[in-house]
Structure formats: structure tokens, C-alpha cells
Amino acid sequence: MLNQWKLVKHLSSREKLGSVWFASQLTSKKKKKQGYFKYTTPQNEQFCGPLIANEYIAYRLGKKINLPMASVKKVRIKGKAGIISLEKKQTPLYNWAQLSKQHPNIFDHLHRPKRLLKMFVFDVWIANIDRNNRNIILYPTNKGYDFYLIDHGLSLLGAIRWKKVRWNKKYWNSVSEYNRRYLKGLPAYIIENQEHLPAYIDCIQSLSDDTIRQIIDKIPPPYLKKSSRSELVSFLIRRKKKLHQLIDRWLKEYKPTSTKEKEPVESSYDT
């Protein structure tokens, strides 16, 4: 039937992180959309929190500061409430690991690479612990490779539940302590271009507290408990005010590591 999403291919099921399917939709204008459908169970959510809320809130916040985010929609397919991350129609699509093999100095081949600095500041704000080499999608344009950001399930309450540390603990003040997962080469790029970071911090701090509350209030009750709403609002407003200190501390504390940590989740995109 038109406008209904259909599950096409099962991609993964993880005890702690739920299931991911490739899905498609035929619209009334006979246009085909496709994307990645994620859903969790109550058992999963004890590890990763409310996945749908995490993804949707991160998407809305990212769009507010003009980051290129994969569009996401709350949907129900075969009785499963979840979220669809829409795949762009541009081809070919690459993840960071794939493209950096083709272009070792990948930053020189990107369209407006400084946006990655904004991405980093945004990830610090929402406590994203999973910006691995597969959680950014790149595609060629006549100005170089452009990109969009995906997979924010382990940010916000997802990060808090995964790490099992309450949102108001000092632990979250040290980015280098709670996160060792970055795009290949990004930390060095951040350090080399750190003079641009204050502008991106100011961009996030210019968002009003009411804007944050409104985004969280728009999440339907089944997807986010009342107590979790209050927790998220406090967490985001507190981190927004402290962003300069959080970034400055990361610049002082970050040290490269040769030990590869086990990544908690693979990207939904298998490009």
C-alpha cells in the first residue's frame, strides 16, 4: 500500500541496542523513500535508554544549529514503534572509514570541513559517546564531499544509561574520560583549528532554554517519561552553559591512544 513503510532486510539485532531493519516506502506521488528502522524493547532500554527520544531530540537540536543531520521520523511498522533514519538519494554513499582509505588526507577533500568542529562541539553538548567512523555519511558533490550525521542513540539519555552514571555527576565534565571514540584524524584536526571552536560554542549557547524545553516537550509520552524529560532539560541546559569549560578541559586533557576500544554499536548504514 502507498505511504506505508515496509521492512525489506533485517540488518542487526543486539541484546543491549535493539533491532535495525532496512525499510522502504512508496509515496502517493510514486516516489520511493528508504531508510533504516530502529526499535527497542524494555529490555534494551535499560542499557541504551529511550532510543526514539534520543535520536529525535538530537536530530531537532542539530537542525537548530544548522548541522547536516539525517532526517528522522517516528513511525510504527508491523506494530513496532521506532524511528526511521532516511537515506539520502545521492550516490555513491561512503562512511568515514571507507572514504579515508581513498583519501588519506580526507579533510582536504571535504566541502566546508570546519563543520566537523561544530559537530564535535555538538557531540560534547549532547554527550554523544558513539561518533565512530561509520556514524557519518559522505557523498560527492562538485564542491568536494559533503556529509550528514547519523546514529545518535547513544547520546543524551542513551549515554547516561550506557555508562550507568547519573547526569549530574562530575564524570560528565571530562569528555576525554567518558569518550574515546572519534572520527579517524579528527582530534588532531580539532587541535590544529581550535581557534574556530568558540564561534561554534557560542552558536549552541545562543539557543534559548525555552527552545530546548519545547523540543523535548514535543516527544509523545509513550517515548519519554515525565521524569526523563526533566532530567534531559536539566542536563542540556547545564551543559550548554558549561560548554566553554568542557571544550577547554578536553583540549588540555586529550591524549591520543593506540588502544582501540570496543565500539558499543555499529552504524545502521552498511554502505
Task: For residue 196, give the 3-state DSSP assignment.
Answer: helix
Model pTM score: 0.93
Q: In angstroms, rounded to a whole number, what is the distance separating the alpha carbons of residues 100 and 160?
A: 31
Structure confidence at residue 177 as a pLDDT band (50, 70, 90): very high
Q: In angstroms, rounded to a whole number, what is the distance separating the alpha carbons of residues 223 and 93?
A: 31
What's the average model confidence in pLDDT over 105-128? 98
Structure confidence at residue 271 as a pLDDT band (50, 70, 90): very low
Task: Supply angle C-alpha 178, 238, 46, rounded to 5.
Answer: 50
Q: Per-residue pLDDT tens for 55-76? A: 999 999 999 999 999 999 999 9
Q: In angstroms, rounded to a whole number, what is the distance separating the alpha carbons of residues 165 and 238?
A: 16
Structure confidence at residue 269 as a pLDDT band (50, 70, 90): very low
- For residue 259, pLDDT over 60 is answered with no
Q: Per-residue pLDDT tens for 181-235? A: 999 999 999 999 999 999 999 999 999 999 999 999 999 888 999 999 999 999 9
Percent of the chain with pLDDT over 90: 80
- Which residues lie below 8 Å from residue 160, measured CB to CB, with a gap of 6+? 49, 127, 166, 167, 231, 235
Q: In angstroms, rounded to a whole number, what is the distance separating the alpha carbons of residues 15 and 152?
A: 18
Pairwise pLDDT comparison (21 vs 3), residue with the higher score = 21
pLDDT at 42: 84
Full set of structural domains in the chain with CATH: 5-253 (1.10.1070)
Structure confidence at residue 270 as a pLDDT band (50, 70, 90): very low
Structure confidence at residue 88 as a pLDDT band (50, 70, 90): confident
pLDDT at 2: 62
